[in-house]
Chain A
């Protein structure tokens, strides 16, 4: 058999590896099993403050348009269905922004959908990390966030607005 050689160059590739969701969910499971649920929340808050520092700064300086830009950058490449393409007329996600509020409605969570399709175990409070991470990012930037989710249905509504 001739040698099989694959040369990869990042400049020609798009970074999107959905299997990472499975690794993340297992990390949640491990941290809670070893250190308890409070430690898991502490980890989520630390990720929010450290990894999302650039987003916090941008949100503080530029407001909700910066958050909308970030969210579209996350969800558009992962969306499998546009408006009217999935048989129900429902897109995977919708973003509505008024003057002082941004609402992200997720009708088909890319993380939960991928983990189910790929057979990864899903942490029983997987969606809770979104609430905690959003809340922490927003608090640091002078905003408020809520997240109402239904993990079984892979749906949530995330709301963001300026703190009063």
Chain B
């Protein structure tokens, strides 16, 4: 059995496999499929609780994934400041070759769900090799303008 603790290497291998068979187009199709089908709990939490739902989802998942990060929520924003991505760290520790666009799966998976509910999302991949990234979500301004 591929254990959940071996999921990240298997996921990385799926990215490489799909990219090899069908290029970036097939890989992006896969990410959309995963975003639509695997992340229904995130969708539900954002729909029901907004920023608090994001805090609930990532508070649990990043704890279980043993991340090094700060998860922060204010009145009108939600932030994940990832210092050391557990997935990238896991692949580095195992010495496995990462899919060239491994980090791209996060901005492909999460922002489409969050923005569905009117939030603005900025996702910055800062360091692909060491797993550093930042996601900033802004609550929509009721007057129609926004600022960060």
Q: Which residues of A approach B to under 8 Å, CB–CB?
A: 1, 3-10, 13-24, 26-27, 30-31, 34-35, 39, 42-43, 46-47, 50-52, 54, 74, 78, 109-111, 114, 118, 120-121, 129-130, 133
Complex CA distance for A21 and B2, rounded to whole angstroms: 9
Would B2 and A26 count as touching, CB distance under 8 A?
A: no
The distance from the CB of A38 to the nearest CB of chain B, in whole angstroms, is 12
Given contacts A3-B72, A51-B94, 14 further A-B contacts (CB under 8 A): A4-B73, A8-B63, A14-B66, A15-B86, A18-B4, A19-B61, A19-B64, A20-B7, A20-B11, A30-B33, A35-B21, A51-B10, A118-B41, A120-B38
When the two chains form their complex, are residues A15 and B33 in contact, meaning their CB atoms are under 8 A apart?
A: no
Jot down 28 A-B pairs with beta carbons below 8 A, ordered by A: A3-B72, A6-B71, A7-B69, A8-B66, A8-B67, A8-B68, A13-B64, A13-B67, A15-B66, A17-B4, A21-B4, A24-B7, A24-B11, A27-B30, A34-B22, A34-B29, A34-B30, A35-B21, A42-B17, A43-B13, A43-B14, A46-B17, A47-B9, A50-B13, A50-B96, A51-B10, A51-B94, A52-B6
A158 to B96, CA, bound (A): 27
Question: Residue A24 contacts which of B10, B21, B71, B96 (CB distance < 8 angstroms)?
Answer: B10
B86→A10 contact, CB < 8 A: yes
Contact A5 B72 (CB under 8 A): yes
| Contact mask for chain B residues 73-87; partner A; CB cutoff 8 A; 1 contact, 0 none | 111000000001010
Majority-rule SS of B interface residues: helix
- B37 at interface (Cβ–Cβ under 8 A)? yes
Interface set of B (CB-CB < 8 Å, partner A): 1-11, 13-14, 17-18, 21-22, 26, 29-30, 33-34, 37-38, 41, 55, 59, 61-75, 84, 86, 89, 94, 96
The residues of A that contact B18 with a CB separation of less than 8 Å are 31, 34
Tell me, rounded to whole Å, the shortest Cβ–Cβ distance linking A134 to chain B.
Answer: 8
The answer on a CB contact under 8 Å between A13 and B73 is no
Question: Does B75 lie within 8 Å of A9, measured CB to CB?
Answer: no
Query: Do B73 and A3 touch across chains, with their CB atoms under 8 A apart?
Result: yes
Q: How far does the Cβ of A30 sit from chain B's closest Cβ, in whole Å?
A: 5
CA distance A78 to B65 in the complex (A): 14
- Given known contacts A22-B38, A31-B14, A46-B17, A16 and B4 CB-to-CB distance under 8 angstroms: yes
Query: Within 8 Å CB of B64, what residues of A?
Result: 13, 15-19
